[in-house]
A and B are shown apart, each in its own frame.
Chain A
């Protein structure tokens, strides 16, 4: 049973550029959440997608946008990259009506902005 798959695993971008990160949820899961984790800190909620709609959003600027496709996979887009966007980006999948099962996380995309 495949878990959560994220690509790419590592990425280096220049300030001002745009980036797209991809996520395939665990088989059977219908909800995808994206988190940003800076070094030494806990994951910070960016947004969550369910039924191809943004269901909830954290305190992130509009430069952060996303999409969910009919097969439940998801993309995270970040425009006009800042140095401060350098972090580990985690995709987490879950079932909308099984909150008690928690998230299944992918291994993350390590983004470095130079």
Chain B
């Protein structure tokens, strides 16, 4: 079976750094994805990790440790527009099913 855990809510201040953690237990692991979903909108792809380590993409970075079943999304220089839900998803087979966590709602305050 699949089990993905991430905090329900987080709050951070504009300009700060925030780390959103995700732990997973899964079979057939084929990569970990992060998506951003603003309220009432569709999720948008942020990052993909399949090997251990850090992937940096602008203000966003994502880390993976396969042995620990752990990932985090790091958001730097937070902006108000970063207020959204962040979904951690595990890919099970190549381009196949992804299993999503319930998302972490991030609120950025002035």
Contacts and interface: CB of A to CB of B under 8 A. Distances in A.
A56 B93 contact: yes
A58 B102 CA distance: 17
Interface in B72-98: 87, 89, 91, 93-98
Interface string A16-37: 0000000000000001010100
Interface string B30-50: 110101000001111100101
B5 to A, nearest CB: 11
B95 A96 contact: yes
Interface size on A, as a range, is 20 to 34
Contacts, number: 65
Contact of B100 (A44, A106, A107): A44
A86 interface: no
Contacts of B98: 33, 45, 103
Interface in A91-114: 94-108
B48 A48 contact: no
A107 B97 contact: no
Contacts of B97: 33, 45, 48, 56, 58
Contacts of A35: 100
Nearest to A41: B102
B6 to A, nearest CB: 9
A85 to B, nearest CB: 19
B45 A104 contact: yes
B99 interface: yes
B21 to A, nearest CB: 15
B95 A94 contact: yes
A62 to B, nearest CB: 18
14 contacts: A35-B100, A42-B4, A42-B87, A42-B100, A42-B101, A43-B87, A45-B98, A48-B96, A48-B97, A94-B95, A99-B91, A100-B50, A102-B33, A107-B41
Given A42-B100, A42-B103, A90-B42, 5 more contacts: A95-B95, A99-B94, A101-B48, A103-B35, A103-B98
